[in-house]
């Protein structure tokens, strides 16, 4: 039996093919913004998925990480980033650093990214990874993200990668006029909606984007 060409794929060719399928999956799931797709092509998700799940880094699925958290599926990361409409001069706050993948993508689009996690271990590991990847425009902080970062506010954009029952008041207050916040909201892990909040001259406009599932937004610092 003669082996086909696919049986002799060089490992680098195989990786390139997996990345190509990865980008195709993003487009097919609604991630169409050219700047977002370019950012997601530049930032290798493989750097953020370790251990036994490393070989699944290019699949469109959430995966477990340390401290009982998850790295979101790439299409959701792309759709959330797309909904933010990040401009090159924007300062962005991310609540929920996790693996660091979302912040790394935002770093390709914004002037400055502040990312906050309640778990010191996650913040430290993400900061080390950002340094290795030479992503100098990300500041990583261990803190209770539900309170935002008053010392650095206001922000042009805010993204929350954990679900609250309602958009936290401190985060709404730290959003600039004209600013956008994207976050999941819902009272259980079974019923959540991704929403986009825009601050206007008279208040806030809310737009529901799609159903999602995220870990809950928890107040206080984590134990790890």
The H or E element spanning position 175 is strand 175-185
CA–CA distances in Å: residue 172 to residues 40, 148, 208, 220? 27, 9, 16, 19
The catalytic residue among 28, 72, 146, 223 is 72
Active site residue 72: yes
In this structure, what token pair is assigned to residue 8?
């002799």
Determine the Cα–Cα distance for residues 215 and 201; give it in Å rounded to an integer.
Answer: 32
Which residues, other chains included, contact 17 with Cβ-Cβ below 8 Å and sequence gap of 6+?
9
CA–CA distances in Å: residue 162 to residues 115, 167, 182? 13, 11, 11
* 188: number of Cβ within 10 Å: 10
Active site (catalytic) residues: 72
């Amino acid at each position: 039996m003669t082996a086909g060409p696919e049986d002799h794929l060089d490992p680098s060719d195989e990786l390139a093919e997996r990345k190509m399928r990865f980008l195709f999956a993003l487009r097919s799931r609604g991630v169409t913004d050219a700047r977002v797709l370019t950012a997601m092509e530049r930032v290798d998700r493989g750097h953020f998925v370790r251990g036994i799940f490393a070989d699944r880094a290019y699949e469109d699925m959430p995966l477990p990480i340390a401290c009982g958290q998850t790295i979101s599926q790439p299409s959701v990361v792309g759709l959330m980033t797309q909904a933010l409409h990040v401009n090159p001069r924007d300062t962005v706050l991310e609540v929920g650093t996790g693996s660091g993948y979302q912040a790394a993508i935002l770093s390709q689009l914004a002037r400055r990214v502040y990312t906050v996690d309640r778990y010191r271990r996650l913040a430290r590991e993400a900061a080390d990874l950002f340094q290795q990847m030479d992503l100098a425009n990300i500041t990583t902080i261990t803190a209770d993200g539900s309170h935002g970062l008053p010392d650095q506010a206001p922000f042009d954009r805010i993204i929350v990668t954990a679900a609250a029952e309602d958009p936290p008041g401190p985060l709404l207050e730290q959003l600039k006029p004209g600013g956008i916040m994207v976050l999941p909201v819902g009272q259980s892990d079974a019923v959540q909606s991704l929403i986009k909040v825009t601050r206007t001259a008279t208040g806030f406009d809310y737009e529901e984007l799609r159903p999602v599932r995220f870990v809950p937004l928890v107040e206080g610092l984590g134990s790890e």
